[in-house]
Amino acid sequence: MCTFRCLHGGICTGVEKCTCPGGYTGARCESAVCTPLCQNGGRCVAPGVCSCPTGYGGPLCQRPVCRPQCQNGGACMTPYRCRCPKGTFGSFCQHCEFF
């Protein structure tokens, strides 16, 4: 007899035992699975879907996000830190050197 409530379409297969559909795991199929894993502290919220912390973006939270965006061709290296091309400087490469 199954009195255990399985989540996300899981099927009760015994006393306190669920068989989970693809993309979910856990005793009650309560946990989504992200493969590959979410990065930089991202949380798996649905199969293959990461919720990213502030400062990161991309499907796996693998990309740092600079706000405001890097300027003058700068590249975002870590959240809020840009690598500036030669001739520019500042937190977001917003200043130009005058020669």
The domain that contains 43 carries what CATH number? Answer: 2.10.25
pLDDT digits (tens, 9 = 90+) for 42-51: 999 999 999 9
pLDDT at 1: 61
pLDDT at 10: 96
Kindly state whether residues 21 and 49 are assigned to the same domain: no
Kindly state whether residues 42 and 29 are assigned to the same domain: no
pLDDT digits (tens, 9 = 90+) for 58-87: 999 999 999 899 999 999 999 889 999 999
Kindly state whether residues 42 and 27 are assigned to the same domain: no
Kindly state whether residues 21 and 46 are assigned to the same domain: no
- Host domain of residue 3: 1-33
How far, in Å, CA of 24 to CA of 16, rounded? 16
DSSP label at 6? -
Kindly state whether residues 88 and 60 are assigned to the same domain: no
- The total of structural domains in the chain comes to 3
Kindly state whether residues 23 and 41 are assigned to the same domain: no
How far, in Å, CA of 52 to CA of 40, rounded? 8
* First-to-final CA distance of the chain: 81
Residue 60 · residue 42 · CB < 8 Å: yes
